[in-house]
Amino acid sequence: MGIGLVDPILPALASQLDASPSQVELLFRATSPSRASPCSSRALRFASGAIASFLAGKLAEGVSLEAPFLVGAGAVLLALATLLAGRRHLAAAE
């Protein structure tokens, strides 16, 4: 659904959900597809999603059903640690 159709109802959603307008806007932005993709082509995005799903399936079959979740959680924690460590260096550079 386009932003032109959804944007006018966001203030009503904010009042019904008892949320600030920025929280509702963030919720909408997080669930809407991005026009600016880090991948330059749709085929590459599709292929990377297909490969990730295939590998997650093989990991679940070969190791355990929890293994793909644990690998993903580890990747998120690693990314968070990297961002937090980099933030300190960026603050020093300013």
Crossing angle of helices 21-31/10-17, nearest 10°?
110
**Number of independent structural domains in the chain:** 2
Q: What is the pTM of this model?
A: 0.47
Residue 58: both structure tokens together: 């093989």
pLDDT digits over 36-93, tens only? 555 566 777 777 778 888 888 898 999 988 999 999 999 999 999 998 888 877 777 6
Do 53 and 10 belong to one domain?
no
Report the candidate in 7, 10, 8, 1 with the shortest Cα–Cα distance to residue 33.
Answer: 1
Whether residue 46 is found in the same domain as residue 82: yes
On whether both 27 and 49 belong to a single domain, the answer is no
- Is there a single domain that holds both residue 54 and residue 17? no
| 87 and 71 fall within a common domain | yes
Q: Which two tokens stand for residue 49?
A: 């999603």
What is the domain extent for residue 57? 42-93
